[in-house]
A and B are shown apart, each in its own frame.
Chain A
Amino acid sequence: MSSSVMLSPEKTKVSEIDKEEVLRLRKIARDLRIKIINMLAEAGSGHPGGSLSAIDIITTIYFHFMKIDPKNPKWPERDRFVLSKGHAAPALYSVLATLGFFDEKELMTLRKFPSKLQGHPDKLTTPGVDMSTGSLGQGLSVSTGMALGARLDKKDIRIFTVCSDGEHQSGMTWEAVLSAAKFKLDNMTVFIDNNGLQIDGRTDTIMPVMPLKEKYLAFNWNVYEVDGHDIEAIIEAAYKAIAHKGQPSVIICKTIKGKGVSFMEDQVSWHGVAPSMEEAAKAIEELKAMEIK
């Protein structure tokens, strides 16, 4: 399977998006959800909620948009990906393994000693990880640096970033929001996994960040809002974002924490707790029964 897809920014209407491609991505996302559950159950710790809320977004980015070569993870011409919400590492690892950056067997070593797969993304240990993350609020800033570098070299390289809504409580995120607008970084596309929950509770009660759309517009960004589990909608918005010049683009993706596993959905308690083997079996049963159309 080719992971390198030529971008077609002119394809911006839903009707023109290949339905077969959308179906393919939905199936991949379902399979990745199963891998995430398996990894976390085996690891005995980690973050299922935010991995499942972000997986449709990350699947779309990697399997539809990114110019990458799994055989050559440090290919200088590749697009870059920054998982600013580093605790969703299982989602990223499941994608990288499926694309062939490393052996899928490694997934079962997540969080164990010694493993290529650290609790949070580590660019020194995991092939395909472009930036070490885990301390929230830094990935957007790092992405602006990558975007500046690619632009200096006049390269057709895009920076894809996935951050959380909770990260917008961090001052450093807003420093980067200012900066990306100042430098007109239209070679970066930011996806916000807006699942509305964080460790201590609902984001609206811990420290409200909404409305994000109006905030980003006020900060001079190009903004889209989509259902973060509607792959077709994510693709459409991303094509528009890529085609947009002169401003950085953000796609605010409304998501459900724990999406795909009934007992995890929208539950704060599933932020940072791994499923037991029984719970994992139940989750996988549900995911396998999920109708993909």
Chain B
Amino acid sequence: MSEKRFIGTRNAYGEFLKEIGKENPNVVALDADLSCSTQTCKFYDEYPERFFNIGISEQNLVGTAAGLAAYGKKPFISTFAVFASGRAWEPIRQSLCVPKLPVNIIATHGGVTVGADGGSHQMTEDFAIMRALPNMIVLCPADGYETKAMLRRLVEYNDGPAYVRLSRIKFPVIYDDNYKFEIGKSDTLRDGKDITIIAVGYMVHAALEAAEQLAVDGIDARVINMASLKPIDEEAIIKAARETRRIVTIEEHQIYGGLGSAVAQVVAENHPVPMRIMGVHDKFGLSGEADQLLEYHGLTSSGIVEKVKSLL
């Protein structure tokens, strides 16, 4: 096996912005004083006249992008997930979702893997509050290539806003340049008949590791990358419930209102089966290394193995 490659989803975003800025003069980028961290500075470097730094004012970031989109531009706006989704939630509701304006909110530093900055900067409620909004699409890629494919798809999507959560840390590479992303579709990375592990973002990698560990014990686990949280791939979830009879979900998010809740809703309404929902249990984060924090929250491959075994 070749050596694992790592690419940050936010680094892929920076690369994407450089490319799309050249291809599409209608694309503009906005940031709220975090352009080096979010990588929108890559866009600024190439197309300074189409980049707007709004300063530490996330509501205005969203309002300005709404105006640009209402005028006819294609804005990509970025800051940390906690500010992008939380601070600006009501302007997102009123000025993006209600008028269905095609603004892409690319929120970096989602989840607990933000690390040392601590709980104030670790957004673990964004899926819930973004999923609750009508007309909003909610996405979270599992690697750099999926990030690029997803963002390319969003350039063509003009029916409303989208929220994309990216991470601070680098992810192992799963896909390549040929990968096509479809809104509302999941990707089954490993087939299996005994149980399905549905994961999102960085947790997809823990799920793949867990499946390998389970295989050693003769347990055949299916792994689904549910990068499109809303709309969600109901067909794949129902199929998994029917064929594997048990489902474990895992996400760097509160256990309320995120991937687990979304999957449970589909399962409960269509084909009820036992489930385990793995995530952050109603608490805020702590400072530490990403790996230490994932361990602290039980969001590891061994944690998944334990949950899977509790269902068999």
Contact = CB atoms under 8 A, between A and B. Distances in A.
B248 interface: no
Interface in B61-89: 62-73, 75
B70 A172 contact: no
B99 A152 contact: no
A141 B99 contact: no
Contacts of A133: 94
A148 B67 contact: yes
Nearest to B88: A172
Contact of B99 (A80, A124, A145, A179): A124
B63 A138 contact: yes
Nearest to A140: B63
A152 B65 contact: no
A155 to B, nearest CB: 9
Nearest to B94: A135
A146 B59 CA distance: 16
Interface in A27-58: none
B176 interface: no
Among B28, B72, B93, B99, the most chain A Cβ lie within 10 Å of the Cβ of: B99
- Chain B: interface secondary structure? helix
Interface residues of A, number: 33
Given A141-B63, A148-B64, A80 B71 contact: yes
A100 interface: no
B99 A147 contact: no
Given A171-B59, A176-B60, A179-B60, A147 B67 contact: yes
Given A123-B70, A141-B64, A176-B60, A134 B52 contact: no
B52 A132 contact: no
B68 A148 contact: yes
Contacts of A82: 67
Contacts, number: 112
A141 B91 contact: yes
Interface in B34-54: 49-50, 52, 54
Given A132-B99, A179-B54, A149 B72 contact: yes
A21 B71 CA distance: 30
Given A131-B99, A132-B98, A138-B95, A146 B68 contact: yes
A131 B67 contact: yes
Contacts of B274: none
Contacts of B75: 145
Contacts of A122: 98-99
Given A124-B100, A132-B95, A179-B64, A145 B59 contact: no
A178 B62 CA distance: 15
B94 A172 contact: no
Contacts of A138: 59, 63, 66, 91, 94-95
B63 A76 contact: no
A142 B63 contact: yes
A142 B65 CA distance: 7
A126 to B, nearest CB: 11
B90 interface: yes
A176 B60 CA distance: 6
A134 B99 CA distance: 12
B57 interface: yes
A150 B71 contact: yes
A133 B93 CA distance: 11
Interface in B2-57: 28, 49-50, 52, 54-55, 57
Among A124, A135, A175, A176, the most chain B Cβ lie within 10 Å of the Cβ of: A175
A269 B70 CA distance: 35
Nearest to A170: B59
Nearest to A129: B99
Contact of A145 (B49, B57, B70): B70
Given A122-B98, A123-B99, A148-B52, A135 B90 contact: yes
Interface in A67-91: 76, 80, 82
B84 to A, nearest CB: 15
Interface in B231-270: none
The 3 closest A-B pairs by CB, nearest first: A145-B67, A141-B63, A149-B71
Interface of A: 76, 80, 82, 122-124, 130-135, 138, 140-150, 152, 171-172, 175-176, 178-179, 182-183
Interface of B: 28, 49-50, 52, 54-55, 57, 59-60, 62-73, 75, 90-91, 93-95, 98-100
5 contacts: A132-B94, A141-B64, A145-B65, A149-B73, A172-B63
